[in-house]
């Protein structure tokens, strides 16, 4: 039984498998290898995922959600129709769609997967990703960092050795990893990143700039107008490298505004975000103790690295053009598929040894006697960028006379004060009474390749050991809650696969109809009406021909050349 590799992205997701012929990217029900990470409900309450849902973002914004990956590991809920969903549950619906696509492609049941996560995802977010896989009916064999997956794809593709700097900017996150590939070993030297920097932020900055320069408050726009403006800015961002100037007609409240997008305006808008992107790159270089000249290749991953300004910034930093000869949108899925192949020991795959690092410092809180008003100090136990799997022991002692309980709080972060770091969980242990400082405990943190943390605390005087796997993070579910979530998701019905192409075309046509006026709107309406007529005829050959014709028509209408 095949194990699939999945890139669960903020904007798009993809799935692949390692076969005897090599890596196969799995097409979805529309025949595309990229599935938009968008979930919606149609008017009958049936679930739509991917391209069809994305086309409905403008016209049905109250029943469609996107970019929920940024909420992973939190207890934030998103309203979809009349129900509330966590980011974990929404991600599970995307994974369920990918699982069904994989089963249709492979002709067998798929129950196991390797899923990629941003290298800078914290422990809470990793647990949430694993849980999403379980809710989708997948046993998550391994979580693999996205830059590591990309480097595996490049390393096995070229059979080259050297130091790689992987810059992975997708829709919502930016990851930086420095890896060395030698003698069949892929070793991660350092990771850094920004979990709230991606292509979505560049589009949001463009949207904010338009509203500010136009003197229009966002609240003056209807939800449909806000989504329409956002999607126009997203399209403009994608075309900036090909067109020096773009003339847009924007519907802002009661006004229709003509707006010019050019390289100079985009550079002004994007510069603060590019400066943010430089910081994790420089930090990773410092942590790995590698000067720029020691990097053999700079590799770009993620659709947002296609931006010319980003590539120019990287080129100036390293004095060379970065590499991007593998598709940045699918290279992570390819690497995840390779790792899945390693797990299943596919005969066509040479063994490689993969090492990774802990991207954050993990530690506990200790009493701050010198400045009690500041709260507890952070005691690092596993330093960031330590090679994993790793197990480290630190000792602490009681802080007051006759203390009988000692609470070990678990934190993740880089600040000297625990209140400014991420709380992951706690473990309480019982100690014998005695003078302050007499009783001590050994705290062992064990961090594995999946980025999951286990805490063992041993009372030195009694030898008693307490253990906890850090699981109950914000947004995590206990067994009862997990069963309820499974029941809720199972009650949602997916649209039949055979109808998906038609629904996606109709949704796209309706989006363009909403964005148009006058004669253009009439032309689209006639095209959609003709398509409905053919669908009602239920002739498979005629439907296939009509699908091709409507797709070509919408492609022309969506292009800049339409007159």
List the CATH number of the domain containing 108.
3.30.420.40
Phi, psi of 491 (to 5 degrees): -75, -20
pLDDT at 477: 65
* 526 within a domain of the structure (yes/no): yes
Secondary structure of residue 298 in the 3-state scheme: strand
Phi, psi of 538 (to 5 degrees): 55, 30
Query: Which residues constitute the domain of residue 22?
Result: 4-197+271-357
Q: Are residues 162 and 52 in the same domain?
A: yes
If one counts the domains in the chain, the total is: 4
How many whole angstroms separate alpha carbon 189 and alpha carbon 355?
Answer: 9
Residue 7 appears among annotated catalytic residues: yes
Domain boundary among 357, 377, 396: 357
* 342 within a domain of the structure (yes/no): yes
Q: Are residues 36 and 177 in the same domain?
A: yes
Secondary structure of residue 324 in the 3-state scheme: coil
Q: What is the CATH number of the domain that holds 400?
A: 2.60.34.10
* 492 within a domain of the structure (yes/no): no
**CA-to-CA separations, 452 to 127, 144, 300, 389, in angstroms, rounded:** 8, 12, 27, 10
Q: Given the structure tokens 């390393």, which residue do they identify?
A: 155
Catalytic annotation, pick one of 7, 89, 123, 500: 7
Catalytic annotation, pick one of 24, 54, 55, 69: 69
Closest CA to 458 of 448, 468, 449: 468
| Residues 251-292 pLDDT 10s | 888 888 889 999 999 999 999 999 999 999 999 999 999 999
Q: Are residues 224 and 205 in the same domain?
A: yes
Q: Are residues 131 and 9 in the same domain?
A: yes
Q: Are residues 452 and 543 in the same domain?
A: no
How many whole angstroms separate alpha carbon 176 and alpha carbon 321?
Answer: 17
Q: Are residues 464 and 513 in the same domain?
A: no
What is the 8-class DSSP label of residue 187?
E
Give the ranges where 215-354 is alpha helix by DSSP (H). 223-239, 263-288, 308-318, 331-344
How many whole angstroms separate alpha carbon 49 and alpha carbon 12?
Answer: 11
Q: Are 376 and 339 in contact (CB under 8 A)?
A: no
Please calculate the CA angle 192-198-201 and round it to the nearest 5 degrees.
Answer: 130
Q: Are residues 416 and 552 in the same domain?
A: no
pLDDT at 558: 67
Q: Are residues 180 and 294 in the same domain?
A: yes
* 523 within a domain of the structure (yes/no): yes
Phi, psi of 29 (to 5 degrees): -70, -10
Domain boundary among 424, 449, 469: 469
Residue 69 appears among annotated catalytic residues: yes
Q: Is the peptide bond before 389 cis (omega within 30 degrees of 0)?
A: yes
* 483 within a domain of the structure (yes/no): no
How many whole angstroms separate alpha carbon 453 and alpha carbon 409?
Answer: 13
Q: Are 395 and 378 in contact (CB under 8 A)?
A: no
Residues of the chain with pLDDT under 50: 347, 349, 472, 560-563
Catalytic annotation, pick one of 123, 146, 180, 201: 146
Q: Are residues 389 and 452 in the same domain?
A: yes
Q: Are residues 325 and 448 in the same domain?
A: no
Q: Are residues 8 and 104 in the same domain?
A: yes
* 121 within a domain of the structure (yes/no): yes
260-278 burial: b if 16+ Cβ within 10 Å, else e:
ebeeebbeebbeebbeebe
Q: Are residues 328 and 370 in the same domain?
A: no
* 476 within a domain of the structure (yes/no): no
Q: What is the CATH number of the domain that holds 224?
A: 3.90.640.10
Secondary structure of residue 472 in the 3-state scheme: coil
Q: Taking the C-alpha atoms of 141, 142, 143 and 148 in order, what is their torsion angle to the nearest 10 degrees?
A: -140
Residue 168 appears among annotated catalytic residues: yes
Closest CA to 10 of 146, 102, 101: 146
Burial of 406 (0-12, 13-18, 19+ CB in 10 A): buried
* 487 within a domain of the structure (yes/no): no
Catalytic annotation, pick one of 101, 168, 234, 409: 168
Closest CA to 103 of 204, 4, 218, 239: 4
Domain boundary among 251, 270, 289: 270
Long-range contacts of 496-499 (CB under 8 A, 24+ apart): 497/29, 497/100, 497/104
């Amino acid at each position: 039984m095949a194990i699939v590799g999945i890139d669960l992205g903020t904007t798009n997701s993809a799935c692949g498998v390692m076969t005897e012929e090599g890596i196969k990217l799995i097409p979805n029900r529309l025949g595309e290898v990229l599935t938009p990470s968008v979930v919606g409900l149609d008017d009958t309450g049936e679930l739509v995922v991917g391209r069809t849902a994305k086309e409905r973002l403008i016209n049905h914004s109250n029943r469609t959600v996107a970019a929920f990956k940024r909420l992973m590991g939190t207890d934030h809920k998103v309203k979809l129709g009349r129900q509330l969903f966590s980011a974990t549950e929404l991600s599970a619906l995307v994974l369920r769609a990918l699982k069904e696509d994989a089963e249709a492609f492979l002709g067998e049941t798929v129950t196991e997967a390797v899923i990629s996560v941003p290298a800078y995802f914290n422990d809470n977010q990793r647990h949430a990703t694993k849980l999403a896989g379980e809710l989708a009916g997948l046993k998550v064999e391994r979580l693999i960092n996205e830059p590591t997956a990309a480097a595996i794809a490049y390393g096995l593709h070229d059979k080259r050795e050297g130091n790689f700097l992987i810059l992975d900017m997708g829709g919502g996150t930016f990851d930086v990893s420095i890896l060395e590939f030698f003698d069949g070993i892929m070793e991660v030297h350092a990771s850094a990143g920004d979990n709230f920097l991606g292509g979505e932020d560049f589009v949001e900055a463009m949207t904010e700039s338009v509203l500010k320069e136009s003197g229009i408050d966002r609240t003056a726009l209807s939800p449909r107008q806000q989504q329409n403006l956002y999607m126009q800015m997203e399209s403009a961002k994608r075309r900036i490298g090909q067109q020096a100037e773009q003339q847009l007609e924007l519907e802002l409240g009661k006004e229709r505004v003509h707006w010019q997008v050019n390289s100079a305006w985009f550079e002004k808008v994007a510069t603060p975000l590019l400066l943010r992107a430089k910081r994790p790159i420089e930090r990773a270089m410092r942590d790995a103790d590698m000067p720029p000249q020691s990097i053999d290749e700079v590799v770009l991953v993620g659709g947002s690295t296609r931006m010319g300004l980003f590539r120019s910034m990287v080129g100036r930093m390293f004095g060379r053009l970065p590499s991007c000869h593998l598709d940045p949108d699918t290279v992570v899925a390819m690497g995840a598929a390779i790792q899945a192949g390693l797990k299943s020991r596919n005969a066509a795959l040479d063994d490689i040894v993969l090492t990774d690092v802990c991207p954050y410092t993990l530690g506990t809180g200790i009493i701050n006697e010198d400045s009690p008003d500041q709260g507890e100090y952070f005691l690092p136990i596993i330093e960031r960028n330590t090679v994993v799997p790793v197990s480290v022991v630190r000792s602490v002692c009681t802080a007051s006379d006759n203390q009988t309980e000692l609470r070990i709080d678990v934190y993740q972060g880089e600040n000297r004060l625990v209140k400014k770091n991420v709380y992951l969980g706690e473990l309480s242990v019982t100690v014998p009474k005695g003078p302050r400082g007499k009783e001590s405990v050994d705290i062992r943190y064990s961090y594995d390749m999946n980025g999951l943390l286990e805490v063992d605390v041993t009372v030195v005087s009694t030898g008693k050991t307490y253990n906890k796997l850090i699981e109950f993070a914000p947004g995590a579910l206990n067994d009862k809650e997990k069963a309820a979530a499974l029941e809720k998701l199972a009650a949602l019905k997916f649209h039949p696969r055979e109808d998906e192409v038609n629904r996606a075309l109709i949704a796209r046509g309706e989006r363009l109809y909403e964005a148009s006026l006058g004669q253009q709107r009439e032309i689209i309406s006639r095209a959609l009406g003709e398509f409905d007529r053919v669908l009602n005829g239920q002739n498979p050959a005629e439907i296939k021909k009509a699908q091709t014709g409507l797709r070509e028509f919408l492609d022309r209408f969506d292009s800049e050349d339409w007159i």
